[in-house]
Amino acid sequence: MTVAPGQIQLIMDLRSKGVDDMELLSAIERVPREMFVPETFQEHAYEDTALPIGHGQTVSQPSVVVRMIEALELGPRLKVLEVGTGSGYQTAVLSHLCRRVYTVERHAPLLKEAEARLYELRRHNVTGIAGDGALGWPEQAPFPRIIVSAAALEVPPTLADQLAEGGIMVAPIGDERGEQRIIRVRRGADGFETEDLGAVRFVPLMPGTGAEAER
């Protein structure tokens, strides 16, 4: 696979910021981010910045994707629930690091486009549905790992309930116009423990589906 010069620079930038997980860096290197951003923003594909992808959504900046995936403590035998497929960029990175990704996207057109990109990249360990991400995917629960790509005011209780014992959920928590923090939730035998991993900025986690909102 040919690696774009911008992609090499991105890897170097991530390493300079302290990212030393070689498997994660390899996954970032193997996912061509330019496939996951609109043509208008192609020249910015490998900048460490969030970019709009339509429907009021964004593809997260690579350093945030890395921070959140690192916090998941992934392994090749694990399955992951991803809430917020977006353009599919984070989904593709996850697919290189775990056994299977179950991804939920509120906007059906975004999911359809993401699935086409993932198919083109032969990422066949991903299953997606269009739906309300806050409801998770109860038919496939429990999940050893859950990652949420939109900010809720509090840890979504329905998603926490779908977390397996010993599992980890990483989610941005906070108000759309106020402070948001990356929160890591661990589920133990006696309940949940949370850990603040720092500031972040995400679009809000909305109830329902995009089609419902447009009616």
Alpha carbon 50 to its chain centroid, in Å, reads 13
For 10, 28, 100, 169, 191, the CA distances from 128, given in Å and listed in that order, are 28, 21, 11, 19, 29
Structure token pair of residue 24: 């994660």
What does the alpha-carbon distance between residue 171 and residue 94 come to, in Å, rounded to a whole number? Answer: 15
Q: Say whether 26 is catalytic.
A: no
Catalytic residue among 16, 60, 63, 87: 60
Token couple for 40: 């208008």
Q: Can you read off the two tokens belonging to residue 136?
A: 């998770």
Which structure tokens are listed for 151?
Answer: 């900010």
Q: Which residues are catalytic?
A: 60
